[in-house]
Structure 1
Amino acid sequence: MGALQATVFFFIFLKACCEITDAENAEWKTGTATYSKETEGSIITEGACGYGDLHKATYGKHSAGLSTILFNRGSTCGACYELRCVDHILWCLQGSPSVILTATDFCPPNYGLSADYGGWCNMPKEHFEMSEAAFAEIAVRKADIVPVQYRRVKCDRSGGLRFSLSGNSRFFQVLISNVGLDGEVVAVKVKGSRTGWITMARNWGQNWQCNVNLKGQPIAFEVTANSGRTLASYNVAPANWQFGQTFEGKQF
C-alpha cells in the first residue's frame, strides 16, 4: 500500500472510530417516560413520522413518541435513543437496565393539564411515550410516569436504507426508513436517468418530495445524515418501478 493510500485509509478509520466513540460517550440528559397500551406491542401503527406499520418497518415495540422539544418538527424521526429509569426506588428495575428506542411519532402537548400531571409532552418537557413492552424492560408497569436518563446513540440497522415511493405523474415522494448511523436524515436528492440531481424538500416526518415526473427512469438517491455524512445509492429502483413499491439501497 502506498503512502498516500495508507494516509487516506488512516483518516477514514479515525473518522469512523470517532463517530462510534461520540455515540457511546454522549452525555446523559434527564427526562421522563410513560407508556401507552397497544396491541402487538407497538405504540401506534401509523405515527407522525409516516413509517406505517411499525412492525413491518422493523421498529416494533422499540418505537417512541417524542415531546415537542425532542421531535423538532419531525427532523428527529428515525433517531435512536438509549433510555434508563433512574432515581425511583419503587418503579425503576434493579440495576437500571437500558433500552434502545427509535423516534417514530410525536407526543402532542396538552396544555389543559399540568406538565406534572398529564401534560407530560408540554413544552419544554423532554418526554418519551413508549410501548408497554419496552417500558417494562426498564420499569414496573404499575408506574404512570418515571424519571429517565437518555442519550442519542448510533442506530444499529440490518440491511440498507429503504425507499418507499408514492405520488403521481407530477408529484414524487419517498419515505426513507431503516437509516443507520445517527438515524436522522437532513437532506435528500433524487436523480433519474434523464435528470441531474434534484433537491427534495421535507414533506413531513421522513417523507421527502419534489415536483418532477420520474416515471420510466431508473432512480438514484443521495441521502445526508445529521452527522454530515452523505451516501449515494445508484439504480435503487429500476426503470419499471411503480408507486407503492419499496426498494433497498446502501447503508451508512
Structure 2
Amino acid sequence: MAAAHQVPVLLCFIIIMTIMLQASADDDEEWKSATATYTKQRDASISTEGACGYGDIHRASYGEYSAGLSTMLFNKGSRCGACFQLRCVDHILWCLQGSPSVVLTATDFCPPNYGLSSDYGGWCNFPNHHFEMSEAAFAQIALPKADIVPVQYRRVECQRKGGVRFTVSGNLHFYQVLVTNVGLDGEVVAVKVKGSRTGWIPMARNWGQLWQSNINLSGQPLSFEVTTSSRRTVTSYNVAPPNWQFGQTFQGKQL
C-alpha cells in the first residue's frame, strides 16, 4: 500500500518541478523596458571600431545589425557578442505599425554623458538601459526622423553561420586572440589556448572580446576552449597550423 501512495506523490513532484522550470524559462524571456537612438555617422565606431575589439564589424560577421550598450547593459565588456531582440513600443508617432522587432549584436559601448540629464541627451547615463543602434537596424523598428524611442528588449540566442572565429595578434612576448561569431548566448566569459608543447592556458580578458597571454606559442598548432555565460563550452583542436602568423583568422567549432 505504501508503494501505491508513492506514485501520486512522485507524479505531483514532477508536475510542480516542471511548472517551476517553465516559469523560470518564461522569466528569462520577459521583455524589459529601455530606450534607443541611432548613430547617423555610417563610418562611426558602431561600424568600424568599437569597445568590443571587433574592428570592422562587417568583417566580424555582425554587419549593420549592431548596437552600443549603456553602462548598465555593457557589463564592462562581457556582453560583447550577446544578442538582443528589440521592438519600439508606446510611441504612436515614431514606432512602426505593428511593433516589428529586430535582433542586434552588442558590438560597442555607449558612454555616459553626465553633462546632460539622463532624459535629455544623457541617454547612456547610469543606470539607464539604452541601445545606440546602427541606422539600418533602427529603421527596422522606428522612423529614422525620431530622436529617441521607448523600446522593449530581451536576450535571445545568436544565430551564426560557420564556426567560432579566432583572430590572432601580438608578438612573441604578447599573444592575443579576438573571439567572434559565437553562437547561442554569444557572451564569452572564459578562453583557454593550448599549443602542442603546452597544457591548457587560461587567457585573461584584455578588453571586449580580446583575450591575452604572455606565453610564446609560435611554431605550435593552436587549440582553443571557449566558455560562454551559460557555461557552455566548446573545444576546437588544432585550428591554427604550426606556421600560423599574427593577423590571421582561424575557424573552430560552433556551440
Aligned with residue 123 of structure 2, among 117, 120, 125: 120
1:144-180 residue CA offsets vs partner (Å, 9 max, x unmatched): 0000000000000000000000011111100000000
From the CA coordinates, give the structure whose radius of gyration is larger.
2
What SS class does the counterpart of residue 48 from structure 2 fall into?
coil
Q: Partner of 2:213 in structure 1? A: 210
Q: Does 1:167 align with 2:203?
A: no
Match of 1:228 in 2: 231
Asked if 1:29 corresponds to 2:32, the answer is yes
Task: Give the number of aligned pairs.
Answer: 234
Runs of 4+, deviation exceeding 6 Å = none
Q: What is the TM-score with the length of structure 2 in the denominator?
A: 0.88
Amino acid at match of 1:127: H
Offset from partner CA, 1:10-58 (integer Å, 9 cap, x none): xxxxxxxx9xx94996111000000011337983311000101111111
Indicate the residue corresponding to 1:199 in structure 2.
Answer: 202
Q: TM-score, normalization: structure 1? A: 0.89
CA distance in 2, matches of 1:24, 1:39: 36
Question: Residue 64 of structure 1 contacts residue 131 of structure 1 at CA under 8 Å; is this kept in 2?
Answer: yes
Deviations 1:84-130 (A, max 9, x none): 00000001000000000000000000000000000000000000000
Overall identity of the aligned pairs, in %: 75
Structure 2 spans left out of the alignment, 5+ residues:
1-20
Equivalent position SS for 2:184: coil
From the superposition, tell whether residues 184 and 217 of structure 1 become closer, same or farther in structure 2 (CA, over 3 Å).
Answer: same
Tell me the C-alpha RMSD between the 2 structures.
1.9
Contact kept in structure 2, 1:64 and 1:103, CA below 8 Å: yes
Instruction: Please tell me the residue identity of whatever aligns with 1:176.
Output: V
Instruction: Determine the structure 1 residue equivalent to 2:17.
Output: none
Equivalent residue in structure 2 for 1:58, among 58, 61, 66: 61
Contact 2:225 2:236 in 1 (8 A): yes
Q: Which one is further off, 135-144 or 23-32?
A: 23-32
Q: Cα–Cα, structure 1 residues 117 and 183, in superposed 2: closer, same or farther, change >3 Å?
A: same
